[in-house]
Amino acid sequence: MPGTTIYLKACVNGARTPDEHPALPVTPQQLAAETVAAHAAGARAVHLHPKNADGTDSLRASDVEAAVVAVRQAAPGLPLGVTTGFWALPDAAQRLRAIESWSVLPDFASVNWHEPGAAELAELLLSRGVGVEAGIFHAEAAESWAASAVAPHCLRVMVELGADGDVATADEILAVVAAAGSRAPTLLHGLDDSCWPLLQHAGARGLQARIGMEDTLALPDGSRADGNAALVSAAVGLLSR
């Protein structure tokens, strides 16, 4: 397990599908098994994307409930978050209604600040006692988040860069986030090619980090990971140096 200075969250599936990797968890039972494995390897929280029967991301109450219940039963007490990604229901009003209908709530949910209706969605989640992770993809989103009434109440701020993200871009966005004066911890992560360099940068800056099959399917040496536990173990090793 990582030391007390390391906070690593597992992102076990993301919007990927099993055609990208046969071990990608989709069903509630698979999500539960991968969560248990990632936690045993050192993850201190889990973020997941509930899926429908077709294996695509879903915000439907029944799909969210099935995923959350299965993971909670398998890993009781482990902080559990879900996506609210706009791609899963690309209509701001419908997305709000879907999340209003959730009967089983996660501990937290990520809200991408560049997406339509982000502030209203964050306010809804907070009103229901769900922690909000603000997803910041670029400096403009960081400025919008910093100016919002929700900023002081977020559980976590996630600076999230794409495959072409680099340390300089990360530091630019992190500076905007820091200037907002939020007491929430900041998490930095990348995607695919940027994943491991930005994880190491998060460690160097003392930020929270995350790893899992949402962010990459490859280990630091470029070889294919066999699942989330292998990715978490590799990340713990890098962050412990």
- What is the 8-class DSSP label of residue 225? P
Cβ contacts of 68 within 8 Å, gap of 6 or more: 50, 80, 82, 104, 105, 106
What share of the chain in percent tops pLDDT 90? 97
User: Per-residue pLDDT tens for 99-154?
Assistant: 999 999 999 999 999 999 999 999 999 999 999 999 999 999 999 999 999 999 99
**Do residues 177 and 139 make contact, with C-beta atoms less than 8 angstroms apart?**
no
Q: How far, in Å, CA of 31 to CA of 49, rounded?
A: 9
pTM over 0.85, yes/no: yes
> 8-239 architecture in CATH?
Alpha-Beta Barrel (3.20)
What phi, psi does 11 have (nearest 5°)? -110, 95
Give the dihedral sign, CA 235/216/151/61.
negative
Q: How far, in Å, CA of 19 to CA of 51, rounded?
A: 14
Instruction: Name the average pLDDT for the chain.
Output: 96
User: Per-residue pLDDT tens for 3-54?
Assistant: 447 899 999 999 999 999 999 999 999 999 999 999 999 999 999 999 999 9
Structural domain spans, the chain: 8-239
Half-sphere exposure of 171 (CA within 13 A, CB side): 6
User: Per-residue pLDDT tens for 70-111?
Assistant: 999 999 999 999 999 999 999 999 999 999 999 999 999 999
- Residue 109 parent element (H or E): strand 108-112
- Tokens found for residue 240: 């412990």
- Name the nearest CA neighbour of 37 among 71, 2, 84: 71
